[in-house]
Structure 1
Amino acid sequence: MHLTPKQGIQLHGFNNLTKSLSFNMYDICYTKTKEEREAYIEYIDEQYNAERLTNILSTVTEIIGAHILNIAQQDYEPQGASVTILVSEGPVGDASIESLSESPGPVPQAVVAQLDKSHITVHTYPEYHPDDGISTFRADIDVSTCGEISPLKALNYLIHSFDTDIMTIDYRVRGFTRDITGHKLFIDHEISSIQNYIPSGIKNLYDMIDVNVYQENIFHTKCKLREFDLDNYLFGYTKEKLHSDERDSITKKLKAEMDEIFYGKNVTHGGE
């Protein structure tokens, strides 16, 4: 018999709700020449190689209180990397209501929880437009846990681990657990928005959209940087080296790319 933090409910058996966090980040850059594109891809592969990604996910494992069972990592040719970590139940300790509350997680700080049958994965996708000068780096991270706390506690740390222009975040609770009377519980903590797990200092930097299906325990948030400084999107030089017309043209291309990713449609090519 176990207690779940939600209203001190006694559970029949262990808490076997599955909580899944999918965190997608995008970094956008203007790379005018083939040489710049190749240099950008090389830079991304070096910055986010399998070894560094493994270190990031290992810290996520510590934050959610799990134990690493197995690590599989791979750097791909010509570009990209993947890491998968299988994790098992961590020390239970004093998992409190605070560990489930709607508040940003640590950067980093260990959060103790009971976990089992869980995994954490990351895949990277550097790519570029064939002739428009736009290069994009995408990283997909999935944290799936079974136990008392939400993997949203690792979200704050993940945001700080990547240079992010656009974020797409999904959180879903699946399955059910039972109280001692046999009554099913389809969620064991209160949540109104993923935004409540993002620090206010980060939220102030982004425009955000929520699409939530509360009755299905499905939560979705998209974020796009508000401020735009062209220097942050040029690879190897600054905007002072460009003519004003070229600056305007590059700015238009970059903002169009960001809008297309944020809204999920080709706004510059007649897409609906």
Structure 2
Amino acid sequence: MSSTSENTIELHGFNNLTKSLSFNMYDICYTKTKEEREAYIEYIDEEYSAERLTKILKAVTDIIGAHVLNVAQQDYVPQGASVTYLISEGPIVEVPTESFEESPGPLPESVVMQLDKSHITVHTYPEYHPSEGISTFRADIDVSTCGEISPLKALNYLIHSFDTDIMTIDYRVRGFTRDKEGKKLYIDHDISSIQNYIPEEVQDEYDMIDVNIYQAHTFHTKCKIKEFDLDQYLFGYTKDSLTHEEAKEIAERIQKEIDEIYYGKNIDI
């Protein structure tokens, strides 16, 4: 059986729709010297080590009700980490109706829902600008599920797990399943925007743009932090230690970096 927000549809076989969530986040930092840059990269590698990322993905599996089959994790030299979870259908319980509504998921209390074979991966990419004193940390998380539950229910927890200036979020539904009469079903839940799965208090912190292709069941949302506080982008010191001119120049560099990533293009000033 496959539940929707309005009714219950009896399927021919099982629900084999594939739903994929790609969560891409960026953290920006100003690192003036080589020592600052190396210290920032070291901090990121420690804060988002393979061990910490594994714990984050384990919480995601709990939220979507998955059973872990295999875990592969790796810290890389000189920097970065990757974790891959191979997961399968977890215990099946009565599925709450609200799970099919466009609403944020839990933080991170276990919500057990029907799930078929799938996977969750995360890769991190710390890097730095060759001359502008800008260091950037990027993390890519992919949650791919088959079955009734949408991986969008894990989005709220993922947002709260990372300190992020920019988020790029993609959601796609692929394949089809069939009802008892053989009619193809290409999506099994209503969705108008990924933003509906993000809590209002988080939405208030970001400027957001949607680019959706409803006919193809493809949804895209970009988010950029609204408030700019230079102290949040300085590693190991505050803006009080800078001259007014230095603070202004650094702020312009950081804001340019944020805008370029958000809009996906180089900006000439």
Q: TM-score interval w.r.t. the shorter chain?
A: over 0.9
Q: Output the CA distance in 2 between the equivalents of 1:84 and 1:242.
A: 43
Q: Following TM superposition, by how much is the alpha carbon of 1:4 offset from its aligned partner in structure 2, in angstroms?
A: 2.5
Which amino acid in 1 is paired with 2:21? L
SS at match of 2:172: strand
Q: Output the CA distance in 2 between the equivalents of 1:260 and 1:166.
A: 11
Unaligned 5+ segments in structure 2 are: none
Q: Following TM superposition, by how much is the alpha carbon of 1:268 offset from its aligned partner in structure 2, in angstroms?
A: 3.0
Please tell me whether the aligned partners of residues 4 and 11 of structure 1 are also in contact (alpha carbons under 8 angstroms). no
Q: Following TM superposition, by how much is the alpha carbon of 1:96 offset from its aligned partner in structure 2, in angstroms?
A: 3.0
Q: Output the CA distance in 2 between the equivalents of 1:109 and 1:185.
A: 31
Please tell me whether the aligned partners of residues 91 and 113 of structure 2 are also in contact (alpha carbons under 8 angstroms). yes
Please tell me whether the aligned partners of residues 207 and 223 of structure 2 are also in contact (alpha carbons under 8 angstroms). yes
Q: Output the CA distance in 2 between the equivalents of 1:15 and 1:96.
A: 17
Please tell me whether the aligned partners of residues 25 and 165 of structure 1 are also in contact (alpha carbons under 8 angstroms). yes
Q: Match of 2:11?
A: 11
| Aligned sequence identity (%) | 74
Please tell me whether the aligned partners of residues 2 and 148 of structure 2 are also in contact (alpha carbons under 8 angstroms). no
Q: Match of 1:228?
A: 228
Q: Match of 1:69?
A: 69
The two structures have a TM-score, normalised by structure 1, of 0.97
Please tell me whether the aligned partners of residues 2 and 15 of structure 2 are also in contact (alpha carbons under 8 angstroms). no
Which amino acid in 1 is paired with 2:223? C
Q: Following TM superposition, by how much is the alpha carbon of 1:8 offset from its aligned partner in structure 2, in angstroms?
A: 1.3
The two structures have a TM-score, normalised by structure 2, of 0.98
Q: Output the CA distance in 2 between the equivalents of 1:50 and 1:131.
A: 29
Q: Output the CA distance in 2 between the equivalents of 1:35 and 1:56.
A: 29
Q: Match of 1:95?
A: 95
How do 1:1-272 residues align onto structure 2 when only pairs under 5 Å count?
2-6=1-5, 7-268=7-268
SS at match of 2:191: coil
Q: Output the CA distance in 2 between the equivalents of 1:187 and 1:96.
A: 19
Which amino acid in 2 is paired with 1:5? T
Q: How many matched pairs?
A: 268
Which amino acid in 1 is paired with 2:61? T
Q: Following TM superposition, by how much is the alpha carbon of 1:97 offset from its aligned partner in structure 2, in angstroms?
A: 2.5
The one-character-per-residue Cα deviations of 1:58-97 (angstroms, maximum 9, x if unpaired) are 0000000000000000000000000000000011101132
Q: Output the CA distance in 1 between the equivalents of 2:181 and 2:27.
A: 50
